[in-house]
Structure 1
Amino acid sequence: MARNIKVSIIEDDETLRDGYAFLIGATEGYDVISTYCSYDEASKKIATDKPDVILLDIELPGVNGIDAIPKLKKLLPNCYILILTVYESEKQIFNALAAGASGYLTKNTPSAKIIESIKEVREGGGPMSINIARLVIRSFQKNQESPLSKRETQILELIGEGKSRGQIANELFIDLETVRSHIKNIYLKLDVNSRADAIKLARQNKLI
């Protein structure tokens, strides 16, 4: 008989942590062997827990989830890490996958899909929420010959989402003048004179 899949959960929200533990532990074929509120707490004991799969949140006190991934992989080289978070920005997704996560789910994922994903990731799969998979595919479909720099592309995407210059500055932790300078360069490179034209041209040419 196949043994149960051993799962550890690292999630700072106690209600969610207990909810996941109950949900997974009550499912045949799965054992929740430990739960932790932070990586710092988990690092003291998780190597002796020897889970097959770790459910990991990104927004954690102390060491955040993305920075925790390589540390966990070092402690448990054969363990699979499945991100379960509210974040669905391209940057967070690619940072998590590049750091060694094997799957990426958002917290609005149905419980049955979370259970299924734990099994899938242990079998070598790369489960993702539908919205995350769309973002990843869209990123690969972008025009690789774009005249825009990575930062300019990022800013144009935020403009496309309806963000103001001030909001873009806050989100990217840069000053307003830098945003203005990037937008000016975007207009020059695309030979346009307005936000609407820049977005339209960028979408037609798969720059965003």
Structure 2
Amino acid sequence: MSIKILLYDDNEALRNSMTLLIEEEPGFELMAAMPNADTVEADLATFRPEVVLMDIDMPGVHGVEAVKRIRLRNGSLPVIMLTVFDDNENIFNAICAGASGYILKRYAAQEVVSAIRDVLSGGAPMTGSVARKVLGMVPVAKSTGQEKLDLSVKETAILQHLVNGYSYKMIATQEKISIDTVRFHIKKIYDKLHVHSATEAVSRAIRDRLV
């Protein structure tokens, strides 16, 4: 079965280049390349995509608003932002809206294919410079003497894998456990670190030297 992909971008040249890139990749199927996200709700029902590639600055419905609309109807559908913007505000707004990844257009030809596969394996693909900015956005956790994280050996190992950029599938293979078990451990990690995403968990781990 092919991976069904839906693309939104108002730049015709970019739509054409992404269409060629996706159609030439075995196992990928581009359902539609839309110039705007005005009909995003209807598009989800019509095309039933497994991954959405979303521009930010488009006429009509803004890309971040489109992500919010997608999340109201589907909380788990991977949405990768594909944009020229690498400023903190756009990155922060996209992630808060529910974006699953963030790729800069100038690296799209090299990164989009692997980003699609990564996001479907539970990863959060980001261009390197964007990932560094995301880490910088997460505030330093202030440790108190009363707080005790009490991560288990397995949770610590999985947290290390997250820091190393492993997807859920890669962690499952490395630890010889199922993906569902990986998800269970990661939920426990989030609870203990008081975070809500892999990005926040990685930032906390690095800043507080948890691994």
Calculate the TM-score normalised by the size of structure 2: 0.62
> Which residue of structure 2 lines up, in the alignment, with residue 134 of structure 1?
132
User: Hey, what's the Cα distance between the residues in 2 that align with 1:103 and 1:75?
Assistant: 19
User: Hey, what's the Cα distance between the residues in 2 that align with 1:113 and 1:143?
Assistant: 32
- Residue deviations 1:59-105 (CA, integer Å, cap 9, x gap): 01111001110112234444210000001111111110111100001
> Which residue of structure 1 lines up, in the alignment, with residue 36 of structure 2?
38
Instruction: Tell me the SS of whatever aligns to 2:4.
Output: strand
After TM superposition, give the deviation of residue 141 of structure 1 in Å: 6.5
Please tell me whether the aligned partners of residues 67 and 79 of structure 2 are also in contact (alpha carbons under 8 angstroms): yes
User: Hey, what's the Cα distance between the residues in 1 that align with 2:14 and 2:35?
Assistant: 11
Task: Return structure 1 stretches of 4+ with deviation > 4 angstroms.
Answer: 141-144
User: Hey, what's the Cα distance between the residues in 1 that align with 2:108 and 2:10?
Assistant: 20
Q: How many residues align?
A: 142
Please tell me whether the aligned partners of residues 50 and 76 of structure 1 are also in contact (alpha carbons under 8 angstroms): no
**TM-align CA RMSD:** 1.8
> Which residue of structure 1 lines up, in the alignment, with residue 11 of structure 2?
13
Letter in 2 for 1:79: L
- Residue deviations 1:2-41 (CA, integer Å, cap 9, x gap): x221100000011101110110111011111111111114
Larger Rg: 1
Please tell me whether the aligned partners of residues 10 and 42 of structure 1 are also in contact (alpha carbons under 8 angstroms): no
Calculate the TM-score normalised by the size of structure 1: 0.63
User: Hey, what's the Cα distance between the residues in 1 that align with 2:137 and 2:9?
Assistant: 28
User: Hey, what's the Cα distance between the residues in 1 that align with 2:139 and 2:104?
Assistant: 22
> Which residue of structure 2 lines up, in the alignment, with residue 72 of structure 1?
70
Please tell me whether the aligned partners of residues 47 and 75 of structure 1 are also in contact (alpha carbons under 8 angstroms): no
Instruction: Tell me the SS of whatever aligns to 2:29.
Output: strand
Instruction: Tell me the SS of whatever aligns to 1:108.
Output: helix
User: Hey, what's the Cα distance between the residues in 2 that align with 1:65 and 1:55?
Assistant: 10
